Structure 1
Amino acid sequence: MKITIEIDATIPDLEVVLRTPQFDDQVAQLQVALQAFDTEQPHELLSPITYLKDDTEYYFNNAEVLFFETDGRDVYAHTNDEAYLVKHRLYELEQRLQPTFMRISKSALLNVHAVYGLTRTVTGATVGFQNSPKIAFVSRRYFKDLKERLEEERNL
């Protein structure tokens, strides 16, 4: 991918032009990300996620998170060993963390790069992670999308 930035003082507003030989999934994801970018609140999209446990705030790389899961009204980020409270709604996290994370049920987002094993069940599937006893539930509705996404990741 080639990125070019041109400064032109004659144009009144920011303009983004994508030139591509074909419209594919990568271009579609880029289009969605650009549309979601709100120039009125860039600090909201770019600010790091704060993870809370007891009375301590933690700041670490989002790649360490295996999955996000709701429990009642609270959202928790699960790492290999711990679960941290997050002060964002699941849909906000889904928008901010694309394309690494994807929805796997009504109440969970999964880090696709952290998947180690996928076990099919009657009601959906469970995802296993390397070096962690935690599992995440995938509903039937999202199973096909996850399977396709994992295939894409393997073929890259």
Structure 2
Amino acid sequence: MIFLCAYIIKKWSKPAHGWFFFYCITTLVNNAGYLALMNAQTEREAFLIWQFTYICRAWIPFTLLKFALFLCTGKRYPKVTTFLSHVHVIIYLMVLTMPFNPFYYRSYQFVEDGLFPHLVLERGPVHFVYDVMCFCYAVIVLKLMISSAIKEKDSCKRRQFIITSIAITAIVAFWIINVLRLVPGYDTTAFGFTVGAAVFYIGIFCFDILDTKNMTEAVVFNEAAVESEKDAQPDPENQTVRPKIEAFGDCDTRIKLPLSEILYFEADAEQVFAYTKDEIYNVKLRLYQVEEIAHSAGIIRVSKSHLINLRKIEVVRPALNSRLYVKMLNGEEVLVSRKYAHLLKEAIA
């Protein structure tokens, strides 16, 4: 976990990274506290360790919720974050004052029997409310992850959602075992956090679930170079023939459209459209057929439904999940999918 925290700090660039780092820290402290509890000698020592552990334990479900929200939606939900933050602070304060109130735990007992020393805790009414909250978190997170995996067209991104779902499912499964007291006297949640962290570790370094391997940076093109390319004409002495494609304009007027004038192609349902600076034309071909024809003219695929002319790009800027936005000379922006982002960067390098 320490190595994972260091890695995230090094690659930190998104809010999702921050919340995952928070999850790693809280899990690390929680598990360290649980290990310390195994070596406790007295009830007082065990109780103080438990209170220290809850500094982070109370926040783990919340950090996973926020991480999932950012990963799937990219939204912050500030009001919800503020409200839930206050709730978790109140929960920890109840644990901190546990000897003087019966709301979170009614009672506790230090037991030295079994595999290792542990506390036997009797839950209070607030703890049941907290369990319901955690269950709601789990439902929301898993629903988000599964629905995102189903909707996601990019196979790499889909694997990221699946791996994250597996990690969170493992955590939730061991938490449910603990809530139902299927292993009496022992807190299986800590083991669940460890299993989840191991799956996350595999996901980060094998499936790049945090998008840290393909960090994107904005690329701004030299406007003078773009303008000169835009206005460039074929050399009359060489009689260079500009490649063209058959297109149809207003009233189905058939024309031979020079590829050098096209900014980008867009596939919409069963139709393909060619966009120039001022006009839109219908191209009666499949997008893959257009790609084969136009590739030699510097037109490349950037998503399932778009081809762009590299010579007509004004600005490239980063988007969420390692995608890119490409602003064309007509002011329109085209979203470059994560699958093709590295190909675009190589093409314009």
Using structure 1 for the length normalisation, give the TM-score: 0.62
1:85 aligns with 2:282: yes
1:64 aligns with 2:297: no
Distance in 1 separating the partners of 2:335 and 2:316: 10
1:115 aligns with 2:328: no
Q: State the Cα distance separating 1:119 from its structure 2 match.
A: 1.4
Instruction: Give the secondary structure class of the aligned counterpart of 1:149.
Output: helix
Q: Tell me the residue number matched to 2:345.
A: 147
1:105 aligns with 2:303: yes
* Structure 2 residue corresponding to 1:134, chosen from 309, 326, 332: 332
Q: State the Cα distance separating 1:90 from its structure 2 match.
A: 0.8
Q: State the Cα distance separating 1:145 from its structure 2 match.
A: 0.7
What is the aligned length? 104
Instruction: Give the secondary structure class of the aligned counterpart of 1:141.
Output: helix
Measured against aligned partners, the alpha-carbon deviations of 1:34-57 in whole angstroms (never above 9, x if no partner) come to xxxxxxxxxxxxx94221122122
Instruction: Give the secondary structure class of the aligned counterpart of 1:88.
Output: coil
Q: State the Cα distance separating 1:59 from its structure 2 match.
A: 2.1
Distance in 2 separating the partners of 1:66 and 1:53: 16
Higher helix share: 2
Which sections of structure 2, spanning at least 5 residues, go unmatched? 1-242
Instruction: State the Cα RMSD in Å.
Output: 1.6
Instruction: Give the secondary structure class of the aligned counterpart of 1:106.
Output: coil
Q: State the Cα distance separating 1:143 from its structure 2 match.
A: 0.5
| Equivalent position amino acid for 1:86 in 2 | V
Instruction: Give the secondary structure class of the aligned counterpart of 1:119.
Output: strand
Distance in 2 separating the partners of 1:113 and 1:73: 27
* Structure 2 residue corresponding to 1:51, chosen from 242, 247, 264: 247
Distance in 1 separating the partners of 2:255 and 2:318: 34
The answer to which structure, 1 or 2, has the higher relative contact order (CA under 8 A, 6+ apart) is 1
| Equivalent position amino acid for 1:90 in 2 | L
Distance in 1 separating the partners of 2:306 and 2:328: 15
Higher strand share: 1
Which sections of structure 1, spanning at least 5 residues, go unmatched? 1-46, 152-156
Measured against aligned partners, the alpha-carbon deviations of 1:109-133 in whole angstroms (never above 9, x if no partner) come to 1111111100111041111123x12
Distance in 2 separating the partners of 1:48 and 1:128: 23
Runs of at least 4 residues of structure 1 off by over 2 A? none
Distance in 2 separating the partners of 1:69 and 1:145: 18
Distance in 1 separating the partners of 2:341 and 2:288: 19
Measured against aligned partners, the alpha-carbon deviations of 1:82-119 in whole angstroms (never above 9, x if no partner) come to 21100111111111112311110011111111111001
Instruction: Give the secondary structure class of the aligned counterpart of 1:105.
Output: coil
| Equivalent position amino acid for 1:116 in 2 | E
Distance in 2 separating the partners of 1:48 and 1:145: 24
Mark the structure with the bigger radius of gyration: 2
Using structure 2 for the length normalisation, give the TM-score: 0.29
Kindly, what percent of the aligned residue pairs are identical? 33
Contact kept in structure 2, 1:80 and 1:134, CA below 8 Å: no
Instruction: Give the secondary structure class of the aligned counterpart of 1:60.
Output: strand
| Equivalent position amino acid for 1:96 in 2 | I
Distance in 2 separating the partners of 1:71 and 1:81: 19
Distance in 2 separating the partners of 1:104 and 1:76: 15
